[in-house]
């Protein structure tokens, strides 16, 4: 049977049909189904390639840091990673609004160009400042790429089949995160570290050419789109975007530095977090009470319980994947005394399993045309698995370690592909860009909290139970965050008995609190999934769309009269 691409949606503007056909428009077969078009294959392939590059660059640099540090005499080398992650996150809402004002295609092309320019700067870097500046530019583009790729797919594909294609996109992104370190290692062993950045340039160039000449999109589902550049710039909520970007950057800086560069109680950490929270409050007030024509975060995006529920579930999915990735490594090395390479192998179920289950979840949602049941089952799987992680100790079997990872990762994979289409279905098509950008921001925030929260819990448990270790000198090395950095086979194996066993037991008990806390947070996801609205993915007929529009106009009229 021929591969199928989703049927085209109706045009979403009042203009005629004289504009170019959509990329996925194709001749219909005898059953009325749309066949896969070569344009769609090229565009979707290009989007997958750019998603892969964006995800790859979040992790490919990790294995190159020692070489880069020696070559550029870096001291704060961790910021070569953090600069990319932070800049990926803080401009997401701005990118979503630019996609509405300047259209999807130019915004996507600009994101790819920024990513390529940043890659070139990093590859040519001669100092730490130049490298970090390049990573910031690269991160802005790298943050825009997944938002725009998901948005373009959402524009091209009808709501019923959207989960399948988004599942494939997200699986590709997850794959990029996984293969980043080994690809980086292979490049460094064969040539210079600079090629982990330069290799992006020809791939970005190919994607730019294909998307420039092949991608054709529908008219935006937005009324009164400004025509001139000046009018378009005036439509952007610059104050709201500035408040959001600076506030979220301040908050994320505090969360990133806490426990790493400075103690959590240090003013270096507390002040940015407080300023970030206050700034976000100011942002919320601006969005609600200002008279800006096009707020970057319309209040209607947060007036829907199911939409809010799904934003939180999206954040939670990434949060738990980061949570278990970081602290399973502590378990493998600090309790099982596994080597670094063996720990990486032990972690493979957590890394690999979400990929196929993201695809399965997308296909399943497209076939069932509903989401709540999938979300509920996925949340249950994650909660059970996370709770059972508390069984892990020095004698846990390989089967238990693998099986529980599969359970949690399968749940996370099912959620990865099904949450975004679900939240998109709850809000008007005109809000598609804002919804997609906000959802991606929540996921990014989940990645930060997924390291911060368990770190606080783990360090607190270590500090409160440190008396179980008899040797005062060993106690001193484990207090106040030292236990995390010393979760290493070489370090713990060098500790003489019986202190070594005491340290392993301390790690086991402290990690148990980390897993119980994860399970408790995951219960919130179960409740949210159980109480979200029953979502049915179905394309409205023209008559239904007309009726819904009339009802919406009537409601707005009544609301205006009451006001």
Report H helices in 369-425: 372-388, 398-424
Is 19-223 in CATH node 1.20.1250.20? yes
Beta-bridge partners for 370:
536
pLDDT digits (tens), the chain, 563 positions: 333 333 333 333 333 333 344 444 333 344 445 456 778 888 888 899 898 888 888 778 777 777 887 888 766 667 777 888 889 899 999 999 998 888 889 999 999 999 999 999 999 999 888 999 999 999 999 999 999 999 999 888 888 888 888 888 888 888 887 788 788 878 887 788 899 899 899 989 999 998 998 888 766 655 566 778 888 888 889 999 999 999 999 998 888 888 777 888 888 999 999 999 999 999 999 988 888 888 888 888 888 888 899 999 999 999 999 899 889 989 999 999 988 788 888 988 988 899 899 999 989 998 888 889 999 999 999 999 999 999 999 999 999 999 999 999 999 999 988 999 888 888 887 888 889 999 999 998 888 888 888 988 998 899 999 999 999 999 998 888 788 888 888 899 999 999 999 999 999 999 999 999 999 999 999 999 999 887 777 555 455 455 555 554 454 444 444 44
Report residue 328 CA to chain centroid gap.
20
Instruction: List the chain domain ranges.
Output: 19-223, 238-291, 301-556
Identical fold between 19-223 and 301-556: yes
Q: Give the CATH class of 301-556.
A: mainly alpha
DSSP 39-75: HHHHHHHHHHHHHHHHHHHHHTTGGGHHHHHHHHT-S
Which of 249, 418, 248 has the alpha carbon at shortest distance from 317?
Answer: 418
CA-to-CA separations, 269 to 58, 247, 257, 259, in angstroms, rounded: 24, 14, 6, 9
Q: Please tell me what DSSP assigns to residue 199.
A: T
């Amino acid at each position: 049977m021929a591969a199928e691409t989703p049927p085209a949606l109706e045009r979403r503007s009042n203009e005629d049909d004289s504009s170019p056909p959509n990329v996925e428009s194709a001749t219909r077969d005898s059953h009325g189904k749309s066949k896969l078009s070569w344009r769609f294959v090229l565009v979707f392939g290009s989007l997958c390639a750019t998603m892969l590059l964006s995800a790859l660059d979040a992790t490919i640099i990790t294995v190159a840091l020692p070489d880069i540090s020696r070559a550029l005499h870096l001291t704060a080398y961790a910021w070569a990673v953090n600069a990319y992650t932070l800049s990926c996150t803080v401009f997401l809402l701005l990118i979503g609004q630019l996609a509405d004002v300047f259209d999807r295609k130019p915004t996507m092309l600009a994101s790819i160009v920024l990513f390529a320019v940043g890659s070139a700067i990093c590859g040519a870097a001669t100092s730490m400042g130049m490298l970090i500046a390049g990573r910031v530019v690269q991160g802005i583009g790298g943050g825009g790429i997944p938002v725009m790729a998901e948005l373009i797919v959402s524009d091209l594909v009808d709501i019923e089949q959207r989960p399948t294609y988004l599942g494939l996109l997200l699986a590709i992104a997850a794959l990029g995160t996984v293969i980043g370190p080994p690809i980086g290692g292979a490049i460094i062993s064969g040539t210079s570290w600079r090629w982990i950045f330069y290799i992006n340039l020809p791939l970005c160039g190919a994607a730019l050419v294909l998307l420039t000449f092949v991608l054709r999109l529908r008219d935006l589902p937005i009324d009164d789109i400004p025509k001139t550049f000046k009018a378009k710039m005036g439509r952007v909520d610059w104050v709201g975007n500035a408040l959001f970007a600076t506030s979220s950057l301040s908050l994320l800086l505090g969360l990133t530095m806490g426990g790493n560069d400075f103690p959590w109680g240090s003013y270096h950490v507390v002040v940015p977090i407080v300023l970030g929270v206050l700034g976000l409050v100011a942002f919320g007030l601006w969005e609600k009470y200002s008279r800006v024509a096009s707020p970057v975060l319309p209040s209607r995006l947060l007036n829907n319980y199911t939409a809010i529920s799904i934003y939180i579930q999206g954040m939670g999915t990434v949060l738990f994947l980061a949570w278990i990735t970081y602290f399973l490594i502590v378990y493998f090395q600090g309790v099982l005394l596994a080597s670094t390479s063996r720990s990486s192998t032990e972690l493979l179920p957590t890394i690999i399993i979400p990929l196929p289950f993201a695809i399965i979840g997308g296909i399943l949602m497209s076939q069932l045309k509903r989401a709540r049941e999938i979300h509920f089952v996925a949340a249950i799987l994650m909660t059970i698995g996370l709770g059972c992680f508390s069984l892990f100790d020095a004698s846990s079997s390989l089967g238990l370690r693998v099986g529980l990872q599969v359970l949690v990762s399968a749940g996370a994979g099912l959620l990865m592909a099904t949450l975004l289409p679900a939240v998109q279905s709850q809000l008007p098509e005109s809000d598609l860009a804002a919804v997609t950008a906000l959802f991606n921001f929540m996921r990014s925030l989940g990645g930060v909290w997924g390291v911060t929260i368990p770190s606080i819990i783990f360090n607190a448990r270590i500090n409160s139970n440190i008396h179980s270790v008899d040797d005062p000198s060993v106690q001193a090395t484990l207090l106040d965050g030292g236990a995390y950095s010393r979760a290493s086979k070489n370090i713990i194996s060098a500790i003489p008995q019986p202190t070594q066993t005491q340290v392993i037991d301390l790690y086991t008990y402290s990690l148990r609190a980390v897993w119980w806390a994860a399970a408790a947070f995951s219960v919130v996801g179960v409740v949210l999934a159980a109480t979200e609205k029953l979502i049915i993915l179905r394309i409205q007929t023209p008559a239904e769309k007309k009726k819904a529009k009339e009802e919406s106009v009537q409601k707005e009229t009544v609301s205006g009269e009451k006001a």
